[in-house]
Structure 1
């Protein structure tokens, strides 16, 4: 099993590895670390984190630096001390303006370069546009070959190429390897991970090249499955394995309210998950002055994230710093019990294509915590909340409408909690049910293989 992160904090990957091992499969989960290699057991699964050098990524960065240098030189000579302004602020401003001008010149260059290589190489163009993808091959490839697996479960788009190449190498020596590609998101619909014109075209080309190698494509929602089928011309619609939580929860989860220093009567709104501007968390901070005694808890991946720090600073400017609490993740099997201490689960995400097509992990976690929800009007989630009756929908990025929705839920939370008692609502949103689907996929691929 392959994943391009450190495993910790990736509940889907952890649940899949552990469930497969519980079902009797021999599982080795390979992830990445920026430090020394490490190993541990996840239930009966063997987890190994491999150090990630990035010589090609650094080489690509150096090439971009060289382009900036040449463009700066082409703009003319650097002013001599006799002609340059002397005050320090002015010189800093001049450098900022110069850098902005260089950056504007670089982007057309990068777009032209991207278009050239796509025309010249087609889907193989990623080798020129995003050579850092080879760094993953350098790290994972030799280890996968040494393990000689019968099945590779490749998580998301970067690991697809690693798994496909390992499958091809095995076939070249007469060994059959099955490849499961687990697409966590729709690549054409995501916000690019880096601010340059090459990132998305390069990664899409990489994905298109290797998608045909997958024996089974797996994903997180029916809508995403259909988009993947159309994008890659798949003969079979991908199998859906929801990002649902375990039905059973740990009894030793921390007390959310105690960590926030509030009593049971204080209204508490929680946001759990990755922190990023497109996640819309700022609206929760902006609403605090208008929500009387309510508190907000951000359960996020890093309290040092620049976006999170900006939100903390903004809360202080609004005079509500004492009502904003930034807390770290808990282990995935404690999440539901931990979140159940809140009054409202909030999902304020903005309108991005990937946000429209799936019920994200925190939706299911809030549901099993029996939290009333306040969610933005992204398509799939809004439709589900309206149909289920477990919360209120507000217009994304609309502060007034967000405040209205929160006040409505806090006025009568019991009616929203009662929605979870409807037949087959929570039962269909459990990891235990998803694990059966996962095991069926493996069994069908490896029928007759030793386990």
Structure 2
């Protein structure tokens, strides 16, 4: 359904915003699909990357990707010289060019020296060659001296870069604190102008769509959503904003190359969060933290990123589950990890433990078709070095609604993540997917998931980054998996962790911010008939 289409009645238009390419974001996909099924006209705007499809549909929701030039999202040091090291080359390619230019000059002098030596050996030396022999030493000394000078200035630029990237360096933290003190929450405007890149790309599109509700996902989109909401109201529209906080921005790992980045994101959220008409988030723990941190008058609603309720008799697209993909029989112990890989996810621990778990295989469902797989390939290289490569299987993602069915043939699901602020706050997506696959869960002792596992009895908790304790937990689960699977028989446990239950919460939020757009009896009749 294109914007403005009258192919069927709708309650109103929701424009959803997300700062990624949509394909790998199951929460956003489910939200768009479900809102459209509830009768809303849904347009989901994401970020277009090279080679990506610009538009498609998720159920009745339309996806449109927007190209976002990143012209402003650079550290100021990439454009300006610094008086901290005045002899450093200016930012850019100039330093590298000068170093190579001096090397090329020395190479040219050496080339001519060799040519003269060859001429002398063949008896062809001339007066010109003898004069060149006299001039060569001074030229070579000059070239070497200028080469050292070029290397020194390039080194000064490198050392300057390191200091500029050091958050504890006096001349790095002082400007940050100055702008924070002077502008408060508005300091992001000086610390990370790259946030305006999203505004310049998304803003005109949103204005053209004239939304009734803007559903802004995560910390980069809240400012875009607030400003679009204000513009809509200035034009006489009753536009409302729902902010969906996927994580706590203060707990996000900053960018190693730019100490200004994280303080900017924190300030950005702080400036705009109080303007949202409703806030939703991914866990009760995070809801409490957001309310306390931002002094919100109402506690955010909790919408878990839960998988859809399993459909009885549903089959996988190719009929092959995780065990079949690994080509191992039912008697072979199989541990699974599903999701992205980075150093804080702790997946290396699963590889390092295999020598102590004879016969056990590991399946890593982590290969995304539109992203680099270098991190996963590094895990496989680690397995080769440990002599366990034949027991490690790299597998591609499957559609999010098929994940529990795909994983159900494994013996346990593993979540080995490290202690990081945001890791402590939620039942992450893979936890709920493992649960619906009725897998025993082996999880590190991050707060919310560890507490849940201890309360339900659905798995074992180990000390994060502790190889010995991880091996203990895995052995306990593999020794008696039925004991842990029995936890899922608890009445209401899995039903509360279904997306259908979460949709009821989200629908309540939409009704609250736009009660005038609650579905009429005729609308509900059309929806049921459809």
TM-score class normalised by the smaller sequence: over 0.9
Deviations 1:150-192 (A, max 9, x none): 1011111111111000011112222211100000001111212
1:417 aligns with 2:432: no
* 1:13-162 equivalence runs, <5 A: 13-35=28-50, 38-57=54-73, 60-61=74-75, 63-67=76-80, 73-74=86-87, 81-82=143-144, 99-100=158-159, 102-107=161-166, 108=169, 109-162=171-224
How far did residue 37 of structure 1 move? 6.0
Tell me how far 1:110 sits from its aligned partner. Answer: 3.0
Distance between the aligned counterparts of 1:188 and 1:105, measured in 2? 21
Are the equivalent residues in 2 in contact too, given 1:275–1:301 (CA < 8 A)?
no
Please say if 1:198 is aligned against 2:260: yes
Alpha-carbon shift at residue 317 of structure 1 (Å) = 0.6
Q: Distance in 1 between matches of 2:382 and 2:152?
A: 26
How many residue pairs match? The answer is 444
What is the Cα deviation at residue 67 of structure 1? Answer: 4.6
Name the structure 2 match of 1:339.
407
Cα deviation per residue 1:266-290 (whole Å; 9 max; x = unaligned)?
Answer: 1111111121111111100100111
In structure 2, the CA distance between the partners of 1:105 and 1:28, relative to structure 1 (3 Å rule), is closer
Instruction: State the 1:307 CA deviation.
Output: 2.8
1:356-375 matches, cutoff 5 A: 356-375=424-443
Indicate which of 9, 22, 26 corresponds to 1:11: 26
2:299 is aligned with 1:252: no
Q: Take 1:398 and 1:105, find their aligned partners in 2: how far apart are those partners? A: 34
Take 1:305 and 1:94, find their aligned partners in 2: how far apart are those partners? 37
Q: Distance in 2 between matches of 1:450 and 1:105?
A: 53
> Structure 1 residues 120 and 345 mapped into 2: Cα distance closer, same or farther (>3 Å)?
same
The verdict on how the C-alpha distance between 1:55 and 1:282 changes in structure 2, with shifts beyond 3 A counting, is same
Please give the alpha-carbon distance, in whole angstroms, between the structure 2 residues aligned to 1:322 and 1:83: 55
Ranges in structure 1 where 5+ consecutive residues have no aligned partner: none
Gaps of 5+ in 2: 1-15, 90-94, 103-141, 520-530
**Contact between 2:367 and 2:394, CA under 8 Å: does it hold in 1?**
no
Per-residue deviation at 1:124? 1.2
What is the rounded CA distance, in whole Å, between the counterparts of 1:284 and 1:98 in structure 2? 41
SS state at 1:426 partner = helix
Q: Is the 8 A contact 2:356 2:471 kept in 1?
A: yes
Give the distance between the partners of 1:127 and 1:437, measured in 2 at CA.
Answer: 34
Structure 1 residue 195: deviation in Å?
A: 3.6
- Distance of 1:146 and 1:157 partners within structure 2: 23
Residue of structure 1 equivalent to 2:123: none
Q: Distance in 2 between matches of 1:181 and 1:337?
A: 31
Alignment of 1:152-301 (within 5 A): 152-249=214-311, 250-253=314-317, 254-301=320-367
- Equivalent pair of 2:88/2:155 in contact (CA under 8 Å): no
Q: Using the TM superposition, name which of 101-110 and 150-159 deviates more.
A: 101-110
Alpha-carbon shift at residue 407 of structure 1 (Å): 0.6
Is 1:438–2:506 an aligned residue pair?
yes
| Alpha-carbon distance in 2 for matches of 1:181, 1:419 | 34
Give per-residue Cα distances to partners, 1:86-129, cap 9 Å, x unaligned: 9xxxx999978973564125533332221122122221111111
Cα distance between partner residues in 2 of 1:106 and 1:289: 39
Do structure 1's residue 328 and structure 2's residue 396 form an aligned pair?
yes
Distance 1:39 1:356 in 2: 36
Residues 123 and 206, structure 1, Cα contact 8 Å, conserved in 2: yes
Residues 142 and 96 of structure 1: CA distance in aligned 2, closer, same or farther (over 3 Å): same
**Distance in structure 2 (CA, Å) of the matches to 1:336 and 1:153:** 27
Q: In the alignment, does 2:474 pair up with 1:406? A: yes
CA contact (8 A) 2:445 2:463 kept: yes
In the superposition, the TM-score normalised over structure 2's length comes to 0.79
CA separation in 2, counterparts of 1:53 and 1:322? 43
**Which position in structure 2 is the counterpart of 1:355?**
423
In the alignment, the residues of structure 2 paired with residue 52 and residue 98 of structure 1 have an alpha-carbon distance, to the nearest angstrom, of: 30
**Cα distance change, pair 68–271 in 1 and its aligned pair in 2 (3 A):** farther
**Structure 2 CA distance for aligned equivalents of residues 143 and 437 of structure 1:** 28
Deviation, structure 1 residue 56: 1.3
CA drift of 1:257 comes to 1.6
What's the secondary structure of 1:126's corresponding residue?
helix
Q: 1:37, 1:51 within 8 Å by CA — same for their partners in 2? A: no
